[in-house]
Amino acid sequence: MIVLAIETSCDDTSAAIVSSDNKVLSSVVSSQNDIHGIFGGVVPEVASRAHLDKISPVYHLAIEEANISSSQIDGVAVTIGPGLAGSLLVGLSFAKGLSLSFKKPLLAVNHIEGHFFAPFIEYKDLEYPYLALVASGGHTALYIVKGFRNYEYAGKTRDDAAGEAFDKVAKLLGLGYPGGVAIEKFVGDYEGDIDFPKPLEKERDFSFSGLKTAVLNIVKKHNKLSEDQKINIASSFQRTVVDILTEKTVSLALTKGIKNIVISGGVSANKLLRKKFENLSKEHNLKIYIPSPKYCTDNAAMIGIVGLNLLSKGIIAPPTVSAIADWDITDIVV
């Protein structure tokens, strides 16, 4: 079984070819970081126009790198939500066109579902149930994954997503975009000593806007920050986000008696986060599954893994299916 997957929910244009047993034959991602970097964040209108320019070459490259012909494709998977409406529509229209011309089923995938199935690409021993932390630019939430299409919310952010906080703090400090990558690079091994607040410490939900405001307040206190002050703020901020994400996730896994933890979404590319999760997993006898950084950030390969599951179960989307910008993962409608 071979599935072509398309992902355009935010600012990465991606196409991938995957085959049975979760093998990735090709995965092409064209990032728009340079375009949005000028604005310090994703500009939706600019993103959808860039997807229009890139989707066709990205698709052709994915076919070429997989060394297959389009006649070998058994299904076309595409992210239909959640995400930016205009961006989603570019990918969905393109996928519909291919599905019609190949006369192959269209498979409608939830972007978050893609993130928590990404580990299946590299780990063959991952078993249900598992706790999935998805921490990206648009989402930060915990889910209990009991099986395919059997998901339960276990906590989510009440305001900003973790990646959004990274992006906003990096912008405040003039470090560049994407903020998580810029902060990680700027900080290196430096260990900051500022004690930032950890909102909702005793609850399952996350909150990052207070932390961002705490950074803003320090920045406002100074006319001009020295490089030493900047690195101290950035490093302390990074450590606080990492502590919040790891402590809540591990505490929930222990309370629920769930041994397997999956970490995914752009923020899970963070080295400090990965190290802390690995240390905690040893300490508490948990198994941590974190995809390689290229499968943590947005990519079509993870969408293809969900597509393979949909195809094998015969869950086919009608040609009239629309993009659902706010599609809640626990509200599967297709």
Residues that bind ligand KG4 (CB under 6 A): 10, 136-138, 163-164, 166-167, 178-181, 184, 265-267, 269-270, 297-298
Q: Which of 298, 300, 307, 323 binds Zn ion (CB under 5 A)?
A: 298
Residue 110 binds: one of Zn ion, ligand KG4, none (C-beta under 5 to 8 A by kind) = none
**Residue nearest ligand KG4 (C-beta atom):** 180
Residue 309 binds: one of Zn ion, ligand KG4, none (C-beta under 5 to 8 A by kind) = none
Please, what's the b/e burial string for 45-56 (b: 16 or more CB within 10 A of its CB; e: otherwise)?
Answer: ebbbbbbbebbe
> Residue 258 has which token pair?
């769930």
Residue 179 binds: one of Zn ion, ligand KG4, none (C-beta under 5 to 8 A by kind) = ligand KG4
CA–CA gap between residue 112 and residue 116 (Å, rounded): 7
Q: Shortest gap between Cβ of 38 and Zn ion (angstroms)?
A: 22
Which residue lies nearer to Zn ion by CB, 41 or 210?
A: 41
Residue 297 has phi, psi (to 5 degrees) of: -80, 170
> Residue 234 has which token pair?
């950035």
Which residue lies nearer to ligand KG4 by CB, 94 or 116?
A: 116
Residue 109 DSSP SS3: strand
Instruction: Please name which of 159, 153, 151, 85 lies closest in space to residue 113, comparing C-alpha atoms.
Output: 151
Q: Which of 27, 136, 207, 281 binds Zn ion (CB under 5 A)?
A: 136
Q: Shortest gap between Cβ of 139 and Zn ion (angstroms)?
A: 7
Instruction: Please name which of 208, 205, 24, 247 lies closest in space to residue 114, comparing C-alpha atoms.
Output: 24
Residue 29 binds: one of Zn ion, ligand KG4, none (C-beta under 5 to 8 A by kind) = none
Question: Is the sign of the CA dihedral 202, 207, 210, 212 positive or negative?
Answer: positive
CA–CA gap between residue 4 and residue 234 (Å, rounded): 40
Q: Which residues form the interface with Zn ion (CB under 5 A)?
A: 136, 298
